[in-house]
């Protein structure tokens, strides 16, 4: 069991001034598993992601990624290095695409580091030497693979900002996958999706887990998604872990029912997502 560990979070604490957003949180995520993090709004879920991906430096604690080449301490790695060499990739709660660039370009930019090396930091690329041309071709192939996978092949040359909302979510996942991560962090990927899109998302995430062998960390409000596809659920409330186990066990945990499932009736969208939904993506 131990050598199946992908991510180890130990005693993670994050304070913003007097506010304790995450309080001594420890959990593990395994390889080839989908680990869901759930909890009410403001529980600190996104903050966990921001710590994992280097946007915040944790106040305390240790975050270890057990990648193929050995353990890496994420809290000591500069943010932009974390995604490199089979690292951690993520999506954002309010989608962050390169909206003025095309769908294909979004996926090529995600493969920046490998292409940069192949172009000898642009010197060889300037004269279109063979090695770079080959690397770019491979990058396009990889992008095509993911475009097929998320069903956006026909829109490859559209501006990403002109895609409908659901497609933008899927594109963001494809873009994260193009960095070749060993851990994929998804921040509320089903928010704002209709039931059909949500079902498609389940299939996609399962395929990322089973076919690509990538571990997923999933923040989700939609309990149907969580219960259906996650292998392991962690429940946060006010920055503390209140439950940790398989979906069945968590579902029946009284503390969870009190903190989270009890509030299920008012499953309001987070304000950012609601705002995004009202924006007509085509109008941009």
Partner 1 sequence: MSAAFASSRTNGSEVVKELAFFAVIALLMSVMLLGVETVDRPTGLELAVRWDLVLIAIGATVIGRLGLIFRRENISRLGQAVLITLSAVAVFEMFVRFRELDDRWVSPVVLDMAFGSVVSTIVGIAFVAIIFATAYFTMKDKTAADVDESAKLSSKIQLAYRSNTKKIGLIGIIFFIIFPFIFGEDRSAIDLATLVMIYIMLGWGLNIVVGLAGLLDLGYVAFYAVGAYSYALLSQNFDLSFWLCLPLAGIFAASFGIILGFPVLRLRGDYLAIVTLGFGEIIRVVLINWYDLTGGPDGISSIERPSFFGMADFSRRVPDGAIGFNELFGMEYSSMHRLIFLYYLILVLALVTNFVTLRLRKLPIGRAWEALREDEIACRSLGINPTNTKLSAFAIGAMFGGFAGAFFATRQGFISPESFTFLESAVILAIVVLGGMGSQIGVVLAAIVMIGFPEMFRELAEYRMLIFGAGIVAIMLWRPRGLLSFRDPTILLNMSQKEKVAGEVK
Ligand X SMILES: Nc1ncnc2c1ncn2[C@@H]1O[C@H](COP(=O)(O)OP(=O)(O)O)[C@@H](O)[C@H]1O
Contact between 47 and Mg ion per CB under 5 A: no
**Binding partner 1 by CB under 8 A: which of 93, 155, 168, 198?**
155
145 binds, among ligand X, partner 1, Mg ion, none (CB under 5 to 8 A by kind): none
**Binding partner 1 by CB under 8 A: which of 8, 23, 24, 105?**
105
DSSP 8-state symbol, 172: H
With contact defined as beta carbons under 8 Å apart, do 53 and 185 qualify? yes
Nearest CB to partner 1, comparing residues 135 and 242: 135
Which positions touch ligand X (CB under 6 A)? 16, 19, 21, 39, 41-47
Question: Residue 270 CB, nearest distance to Mg ion (Å)?
Answer: 6
With contact defined as beta carbons under 8 Å apart, do 234 and 241 qualify? yes
**Binding partner 1 by CB under 8 A: which of 13, 23, 67, 153?**
153
Contact between 179 and Mg ion per CB under 5 A: no
Per-residue burial over 189-202, b = 16 or more CB atoms within 10 Å of its CB, e = otherwise:
bbbbbeeebbebbb
Question: Residue 49 CB, nearest distance to ligand X (Å)?
Answer: 8
Strands (DSSP E) along the chain, which ranges?
A: 5-16, 19-30, 34-38, 60-67, 70-73, 88-90, 183-187, 215-219, 232-237, 240-245
With contact defined as beta carbons under 8 Å apart, do 60 and 254 qualify? no
* Contact pattern for partner 1 over residues 53 through 92, marking x by CB under 8 A: xxx-----------------------xxxxxx--x-xx-x
- Paired tokens of 172: 């963001």
Contact between 158 and partner 1 per CB under 8 A: yes
Strands (DSSP E) along 17-131, which ranges?
A: 19-30, 34-38, 60-67, 70-73, 88-90
With contact defined as beta carbons under 8 Å apart, do 37 and 250 qualify? no
Question: Residue 207 CB, nearest distance to partner 1 (Å)?
Answer: 21
22 conformational bin, left if phi > 0, alpha if psi -120 to 50, beta if neither: beta
Contact between 144 and partner 1 per CB under 8 A: yes
Sequence length of the chain is 284
CA distance 119 to 175: 21
CA distance 134 to 128: 10
Residue with the two structure tokens 């059909």: 196
Question: Residue 240 CB, nearest distance to ligand X (Å)?
Answer: 12
DSSP 8-state symbol, 76: G
With contact defined as beta carbons under 8 Å apart, do 284 and 98 qualify? no
Nearest CB to ligand X, comparing residues 180 and 188: 188
Q: Which stretch binds partner 1 (CB under 8 A): 29-37, 109-117, 198-206, 221-229?
A: 109-117
Nearest CB to ligand X, comparing residues 36 and 43: 43
Q: Which stretch binds Mg ion (CB under 5 A): 93-101, 131-139, 172-180, 192-200?
A: 93-101
Nearest CB to ligand X, comparing residues 229 and 234: 234
Q: What are the residues binding Mg ion (CB under 5 A)? A: 46, 93
Residues that bind partner 1 (CB under 8 A): 53-55, 79-84, 87, 89-90, 92, 96-102, 104-105, 108-110, 112-113, 115-116, 119, 121-122, 125-126, 132, 140, 143-144, 147, 153-159, 162, 175-176, 179, 282
């Amino acid at each position: 069991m131990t050598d199946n560990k992908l991510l180890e979070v130990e005693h993670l604490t994050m304070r913003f001034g007097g506010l304790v957003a995450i309080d001594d949180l420890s959990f593990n995520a395994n390889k080839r598993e989908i680990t869901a993090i759930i909890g009410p709004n403001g529980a600190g879920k996104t903050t966990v992601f921001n710590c994992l991906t280097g946007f915040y430096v944790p106040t305390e604690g240790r975050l270890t990624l057990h990648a193929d080449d050995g353990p890496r301490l994420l809290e000591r790695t500069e943010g932009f290095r974390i995604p490199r060499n089979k690292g951690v990739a993520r999506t954002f709660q309010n989608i962050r695409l390169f909206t003025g660039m095309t769908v294909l370009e979004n996926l090529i930019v995600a493969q920046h580091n490998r292409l940069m090396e192949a172009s000898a930091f642009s010197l060889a690329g300037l004269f279109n030497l063979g090695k770079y041309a080959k690397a770019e071709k491979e990058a396009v192939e990889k992008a095509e693979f993911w475009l097929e996978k998320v069903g956006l092949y026909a829109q490859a040359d559209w501006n990403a900002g002109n895609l409908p909302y659901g497609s933008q979510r899927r594109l963001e996942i494809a873009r994260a996958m193009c960095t070749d991560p060993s851990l994929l962090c998804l921040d509320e990927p089903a928010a704002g999706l209709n039931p059909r899109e949500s079902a498609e998302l389940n299939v996609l995430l399962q395929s990322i887990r089973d076919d690509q062998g990538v571990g997923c960390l999933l923040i989700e409000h939609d309990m149907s998604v969580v219960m259906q596809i996650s292998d392991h659920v962690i429940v946060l409330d006010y920055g503390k872990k209140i439950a940790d186990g398989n979906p069945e066990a968590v579902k029946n945990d009284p503390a969870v029912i009190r903190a989270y499932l009890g509030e299920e009736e008012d499953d309001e969208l987070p304000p950012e997502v609601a705002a995004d939904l009202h924006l007509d993506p085509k109008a941009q």
